[in-house]
Structures are given as C-alpha cells and as structure tokens.
Amino acid sequence: MSGLTKKIVALAGMSAFVAGNAVAADLTVVSWGGAYTKSQVEAYHKPWMAQSGHSIISEDYGGGIAEIKAQVESGNVTWDVVDVELSDAIRACDEGLLEEIDHSTLPAAPDGTPAVDDFLPGTLHDCAVANIVWSSVYVYDSSKVRNWNAPKTMGDFFNTDAYPGKRGMRKSPKVTMEFALIADGVPVSEVYDVLGTEEGIERAFAKLDTIKDDVIWWEAGAQPPQLLADGEVIFTTAWNGRVFNAVAAEDQSFEMVWDGQIYDLDLWVIPKGSKNVEAALDFVRFSTATEQLANQASWISYGPARASSVPLIGTYHDNAAINMADHMPTAPGNFANALQNDFEFWADNQDDLNERFNAWLAQ
C-alpha cells in the first residue's frame, strides 16, 4: 500500500503545482516560434511585462485558425493574443472568431500622427493589427563549393539542369504556385490574374512538375535553414527573417535571392471570449507602438508595419556592423521584383487549391 500512498502524495503535489501554474499565467501570447518569437519576446513581451506587471506565457504554433476556432466554439479560450497571417485573420474575423480592435485606441506616432494614418496601407483590419511585413524568398548556402554561378532569379530555382540537387519548398500551394508562375515568366503584376484561370493553375502545376522529384517539402519555418545547413537541399524557399537569423546569429553563409519575393503581413488578433481581453488589448497597443516595432527590427529582419518606425530602425542588437534596414524585404535593393500576397484570392481559392495541390502531391 505504501506505493499507493506515495502516488497520492505525488498526485496532490502535482495538482498543487499545476493549479499554481495556471494562476500565475496572465496572458498567453501565441506566435510562430524560433527566432521570430524570440524577437517578439525581446521587443514586446519583456518591456510590457516590466511596465504592466503582468506575466506572459509564450506559446508556439504552426499557423492556421484551427486552434482558435476550436477554442472559441468550445467556449474555452486559453489563447489571448495570436500572431496570424493576413488571409487567416480575415477568415477568422468573418467567422466571428475574433474580438474587434478599435483602431482609434492604437497609440499615435511620436510626431502625433494618428495610428490610422501611420500604419502602412492595408495593415489595419477590423479584428487585426499588423506588426510586421515578412517575405518568402529562396536561399542557398554560399559556403558549399559547387560548380555553378550564383543563382539570381526565380527561374534559377526551377532550373534543374544548371542547378542539380534537392530543393526545399513549403508544403502549401500558397507562395509555391506563385513562385512557379514567376519562374515561368509571368510578370509579378499579373500572377494572380493568371492563377485565377484554369490554364494558369495548369501552368503552375506543369512548372512544378519539372522539379517535383527534387523537392523536399517543409512545414515549419525553422525547418528550411536546418535543411540547408544539413546539406539536405541546395536551395530552399524560406521566410526571410529566419534566414537572416541563421546568418546573423548562427554564422551561416546563406544568401537570399530576392527576385520574385512574395511579401505578406503578420497580425495580432485576439480570440473572441479571451479571459483577458483588456490586458490583451493593452499588449497589442503597446507592442504596435512606433518604438516597439522599430525595436523588434533590431532582432529580426522583418519590416515594421508603421511608417514612423522605419527611420528608427538601427543595427542588429548583437552586431553594430549589420544595418538592419538593408535586410528588410522593403529595402530598395530587395524590392525590385516583389509581389504582395493576395489575401482575397487565397481566402477564395485556398480550399480548392489545397485539394488540387494535395492531389498533385499524391500523383
């Protein structure tokens, strides 16, 4: 029986700790993990905790609105603030899963410009406030000696004759199909018009067919730098901030190819029924202030969503030789041939293209 008694004692101890834990957590902030979450912890969480006296539990997730939907519909909302992609923010808002955020309560720029004028166009939505502009690009490892010329264009990514080897791509039609069309010669301004037609979809898949046997599909943002560092692939598509982090913090010699980059927003949303709406709103206001957004840019190369933050962007927190502004997706040298992700197109066609993409993968 002594074993049983021990168990019970242990159990009682455990539940005390579990309960203690639940009380201590003031705000659960959910983001994409890795270097990106770290930049948010440094630039947003820590100063906010110091200022407000609340504590934050930081959680990682893999995107999508499944968890938010599950929590809201079960009435048991444990996430207070979530970092989501634009098309997901719009969809979740339409389905009534998010709290509305009053834009007039967002902090004004230091020079007094109201928030609604200071945020870049398209970055404020009924239920969501953008914090960063990020971009999908492709990368190669310049330290590995290979006998080819450095790739310059999106076309090179798909050119298996000149660049033989495995390629990493995100396992999702989003971005992948656009890249295929850009590589196939569609001007960035026409990509979504072409993709909106049956022939355009066929064309994208036909282009993808040419590299299908050479693709390793990744799903989480931390995977592509790993794949590249391990030598599993010669090229991989990736999120520019993750690549930058591998270069700046882990001394990898990765080179990004900015041609045909597709940029998108990450936004804060608050699931409807959050138990800490007031604190969550306060956190969103705090973190999207000019200074915080500019601060984050010293940790990772994602562009701030406010115009007034741009002049404040400094150098990398760890290395004054790296001027962060040069590494932003919006830096003039990088922005020459860029495409903005069309959230409405994806909101409409996501289900269908996902299905076709999966069918294509299974062939």
Partner 1 sequence: MDVSQPITAADGTPLKKKLAQAMFRSKLRATGLVVPLLAFVLASFVFPILALMWQGIHNDTFARLMPNLTEELRVWDGVSDPTEEMYALLVADLRQNRADKTIGKVASRVNQELAGTRSLFTSTARKAKKLEPPFKEALIKTKKKWGDIKVWQAMKLTNQSLTPGFYATSLDARYTVDQGFVMKEEKRQIYTKLFVRTLMISGSVMLLCLLLGYPVAYLLATLPLKYSNLLMIMVLLPFWTSLLVRTTAWIAILQSQGVVNDLLVWIGITGDESRFSLIYNMTGTIIAMTHILLPFMILPLYSVMKTIPPSYMRAARSLGATPTAAFIKVYMPQTVPGIGAGGLLVFILAIGYYITPALVGGQDGQLISNMIAYHMQKSLNWSLAAALGGLLLLGVLVLYWAYDRIIGIDNMKLG
Partner 2 sequence: MAKLPPYTTTGERIWHYAFRFICGLIFLFLILPVLIVLPLSFNVEPYFSFTPGMLSLDPEAFSLRWYKDIFRNGMAAPDAPFDMAWLADTWNNAQWMRAIRNSFFIGICATLLSTALGTLAAIGLSRSEMPYRRLVMSILISPMIVPLVITAAGMFFFYSKIQLSQTYLGVIMAHAVLGTPFVIITVTATLVGFDKSLVRAANSLGAGPIQTFFKVQMPLIIPGVISGGLFAFITSFDEVVAVLFLASPEQRTIPRQMWSGIREQISPTILAVATLLVLLSIILLTVIELLRRRSERLRGITSS
Number of residues that bind partner 2 (CB under 8 A): 33
HSE (side-chain half, CA atoms, 13 Å) at 245: 23
The letter for the amino acid at 74 is: S
CB 296 within 8 A of CB 302: yes
**Is residue 251 a contact residue for partner 1 (CB under 8 A)?**
no
Part in contact with partner 1 (CB under 8 A); list of ranges 6-14, 302-310, 327-335, 342-350? 342-350
Q: Which of 2, 5, 23, 24 binds partner 2 (CB under 8 A)?
A: 24
Q: Does the footprint of partner 2 cover residue 71 (CB under 8 A)?
A: yes
Residue 192 CB, nearest approach to partner 1 (Å)? 13
Both tokens of residue 356? 């076709």
CB 302, CB 231: distance < 8 Å:
no
Tell me: does residue 361 bind partner 1 (CB under 8 A): yes
Locate 4 and state its tokens.
Answer: 């049983």
Q: Which of 100, 209, 219, 326 touches partner 2 (CB under 8 A)?
A: 219
349 is a contact residue toward partner 1 (CB under 8 A) = yes
Interaction partner, residue 287 (partner 1, partner 2, none; CB < 5-8 Å by kind):
none
Give CA–CA dist 189/337, Å, rounded: 9
Q: Would you count residue 21 as binding partner 2 (CB under 8 A)? A: yes
Q: Are strands 124-125 and 215-218 parallel, antiparallel or unpaired?
A: unpaired
Query: E strands, 99-166, where?
Result: 124-125, 128-141
What's the sign of the alpha-carbon dihedral 151, 166, 208, 168? negative
Site membership for partner 2, residue 336 (CB under 8 A): no
| 250 contacts partner 1 (rule: CB under 8 A) | no
Query: Residue 45 has what DSSP assignment?
Result: I
Identified binder of partner 1 from the candidate list 54, 120, 171, 220, rule CB under 8 A: 171
Closest separation in Å from C-beta 116 to partner 1: 19
Stretch that binds partner 2, among 3-11, 109-117, 253-261, 292-300 (CB under 8 A): 3-11
Give the chain's end-to-end CA distance (angstroms, integer).
59
**If you count them, how many residues does the chain have?**
363
- Residues 123 and 341: their CA atoms lie apart, in Å, by 13
Cα 242 to Cα 232: distance, rounded to the nearest angstrom: 17
**Among positions 20, 53, 96, 333, the unique one binding partner 1 when judged by CB under 8 A:** 96
Amino acid at 113: T
Q: Does 331 bind partner 1 (CB under 8 A)?
A: no
Name the residues that contact partner 1, by CB under 8 A. Answer: 64-66, 69, 91-97, 171, 216-217, 230-232, 344, 347-356, 358-363
Name the residues that contact partner 2, by CB under 8 A. Answer: 7, 10-11, 14-15, 17-18, 21-22, 24-25, 28, 30, 33-34, 57, 59-60, 62, 70-71, 73-76, 78-79, 219-223, 226
